[in-house]
A and B are shown apart, each in its own frame.
Chain A
């Protein structure tokens, strides 16, 4: 494959950024719902 480095770098960084964002959202969601729960009833 020509330019394999560029192409793999593109795919790798895309999936890494998406996974990082998803992990951030889910982690923050969990910590917030833990914070809210005691008084939620």
Chain B
């Protein structure tokens, strides 16, 4: 095994850190943190639901939007931003899928239903489908420039749903509870008990580390795929040239 197939030292360290912090989160969430006075033990799903939601909506899709904007801006246009946008969106879709999965289980044991069409759940489902659509658009064949440009436009448009999801619990009546943390009216006094807040914070840190590690690997994979596509294109051109050369040669000899 040569060094090129291995990840770099900082990425390896990042991998270990995220594995350790995720394990700690699981221990804190399942063993050490207390049950909620109303929700009982089901509150333990909070420590997966909220970090995956934040990482998907704000970090992953945020990075995708930023990278897409940098691609669209002529002065910063490069393949790097296009590949970053695609890699980050895929991880975001994965995290948002987990948010929906955990939310559904949580809903089953607290509300009593797996799913309901309230504004928060509906707008989140829309967000999930929008980014699935973005990933599909990235695969529609075209020249690399056209592909990257139209993907970037779709990415920026899809992000418009993120503030709608965020505000949905304020704008409409929902079964889903409003935000506990990050609510501007209670920024310094979030309504969550100490040990629960610490576990949630640890969860966010763990998932952020995991996101960075996954992004490093997924970006590298996207870069390799890109190189391979270029290589195939070169080979195809070479072959065509060779064929043309042959037929020319055949014409000359005849």
Contacts and interface: CB of A to CB of B under 8 A. Distances in A.
B41 A33 contact: no
A26 B248 CA distance: 46
Interface of B: 4-5, 22, 26, 29-30, 35, 40-42, 44-45, 48, 52, 94, 97-98, 101-102, 105-106, 108-109, 210, 214, 217-218, 220-221, 224-225, 227-228, 231
B109 A22 contact: no
A13 B99 CA distance: 12
Interface string A1-41: 11110111111011101100110011011101111110100
B231 A6 contact: no
Per DSSP, chain A at the interface is helix
A22 to B, nearest CB: 6
Contacts, number: 78
Contacts of B29: 11
Interface of A: 1-4, 6-11, 13-15, 17-18, 21-22, 25-26, 28-30, 32-37, 39
Per DSSP, chain B at the interface is helix
A39 B133 CA distance: 35
The 4 closest A-B pairs by CB, nearest first: A32-B224, A29-B221, A1-B41, A3-B109
Contact of A17 (B4, B30, B94): B94
B41 A34 contact: no
A10 B48 contact: yes
B155 to A, nearest CB: 20
A39 B221 CA distance: 18
B171 to A, nearest CB: 29
Contacts of B42: 2-3, 6-7
Contacts of A15: 22, 26
Contact of B5 (A6, A10, A17, A30): A30
Given A7-B41, A13-B101, A17-B94, A26 B217 contact: yes
B217 A22 contact: yes
A34 B2 CA distance: 10
